[in-house]
């Protein structure tokens, strides 16, 4: 339990500081919007570029990453179906809801948990690479096509997306650098490291500020939150276990790594994406907080049973 709490503590502290700053208006009335936009436009793309450009795409070709990918995609599809057919959201909000139920906090929480619990970051880095390379662009394309509708503009906007969206642009550029095997000089990467280091704090601080405007959700909204939390905390790691154990015959440390990483809580990126596109931010905010809180118990249980 202590090893799991070690990974969570910085998240709670920074989020609490954001709440305090919002409560007493330390940074002004526009702080949440400005911090969220800074994270989306500059900090997250910088972190994404540095991470992916230094990665090896071949690291994805393992059974463990295959299990992680299958369980994530299956739960993502379930979240989309619930958001569309049960809660009747528009496409952009469907994508955010599906992200809330499946997209794991692989960076600022996944890596500390991997260090303290798995004593190895190899798998979580590969899992993060899969999310950034495939799931993030999918989510942003679905959101963008819905929020910028127009006659005959769908394919044109898809082609323009890498030039308009900094997260997609960073993904494309980093993939090109990694595929070419280039090693960028320190003069080029140092500014990106400074900006990338601000990605997590700025996102968490904006999340904390938003807690000051929280309202009581309707009964239907509470039901949706419970379902998404259940998908993320229970269904996804359980599905990963079943696939890993019985379909891919994984065992020992490999099985433990897949299930533990699949059980990580929702990433705060869901809140930042919703904020940037002016969608409903209450659902991702509440889901991030609830899954982060409950996953301290669920991850400890996974570590006890499989570790």
What digits encode the pLDDT tens for the residues 152-188?
A: 556 666 666 666 789 888 888 888 888 888 888 988 8
**Cα separation, 66 vs 241, whole angstroms:** 12
Three-state SS string across 154-216, please? HHHHHHHHHHHCHHHHHHHHHHHHHHHCCCCCHHHHHHHHHHHHCHHHHHHHHHHHHHHHCCC
User: CATH number, domain at 128?
Assistant: 1.20.1530.20
**Whole-number Å distance between alpha carbons of 230 and 101:** 8
Distances, alpha carbon 278 to alpha carbons 37, 164, 207, 208, 282, in Å: 11, 16, 14, 18, 11
Residue 34: closest CA among 272, 285, 238, 196: 272
Which residue has better confidence, 167 or 90?
A: 90
Measured distance CA(270)–CA(68) in Å, rounded:
19
Domain count, the chain: 1
Q: How far apart are CA 203 and CA 271, in angstroms?
A: 8
- Per cent of the chain over pLDDT 70 is 94
Rounded to two decimals, what is the model's pTM?
A: 0.87
> Which residues partner with 266 through β-bridges?
104
pLDDT of residue 78: 98
Contact (Cβ atoms closer than 8 angstroms) between residue 254 and residue 64? yes
Q: List 104's β-bridge partners, or say none.
A: 266
Query: SS3 of 285, please?
Result: helix
Confidence band of 116 (pLDDT split at 50, 70, 90) = confident
Angle at 301 between CA 300 and CA 303, to 5 degrees: 65
pLDDT at 125: 85
Domain containing 210 equals 2-306
């Amino acid at each position: 339990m202590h090893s799991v709490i070690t990974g969570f503590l910085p998240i709670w502290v920074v989020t609490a500081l954001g709440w305090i700053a919002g409560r007493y208006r330390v940074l002004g009335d526009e702080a949440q919007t400005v911090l969220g936009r800074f994270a989306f436009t500059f900090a997250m793309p910088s972190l994404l570029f540095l991470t992916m450009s230094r990665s090896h795409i071949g690291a994805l070709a393992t059974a463990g990453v295959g299990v992680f990918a299958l369980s994530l995609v299956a739960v993502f599809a379930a979240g989309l179906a619930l958001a569309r057919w049960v809660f009747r959201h528009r496409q952009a909000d469907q994508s955010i809801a599906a992200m809330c139920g499946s997209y794991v906090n692989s960076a600022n929480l996944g890596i500390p948990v991997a260090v303290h619990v798995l004593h190895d970051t190899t798998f979580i880095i590969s899992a993060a690479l899969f999310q950034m390379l495939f799931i993030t662009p999918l989510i942003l394309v679905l959101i963008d096509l819905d929020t910028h509708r127009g006659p005959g503009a769908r394919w044109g906007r898809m082609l323009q997306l890498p030039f308009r969206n900094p997260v997609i642009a960073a993904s494309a550029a980093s993939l090109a650098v990694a595929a070419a095997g280039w090693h960028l000089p320190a003069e080029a990467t140092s500014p990106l490291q400074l900006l990338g280091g601000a990605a997590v704090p700025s996102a968490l601080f904006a999340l904390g500020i938003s807690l000051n405007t929280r309202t009581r959700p309707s009964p239907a909204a509470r039901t949706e939150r419970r379902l998404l939390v259940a998908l993320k905390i229970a269904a996804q790691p359980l599905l990963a276990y079943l696939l890993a154990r019985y379909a891919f015959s994984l065992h020992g440390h490999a099985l433990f790594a897949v299930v533990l990483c699949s059980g990580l809580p929702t990433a705060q990126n869901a809140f930042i994406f919703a904020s940037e596109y002016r969608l409903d931010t209450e659902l991702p905010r509440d889901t991030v907080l609830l899954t982060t809180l409950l996953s301290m118990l669920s991850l400890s249980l996974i570590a006890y049973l499989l570790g």
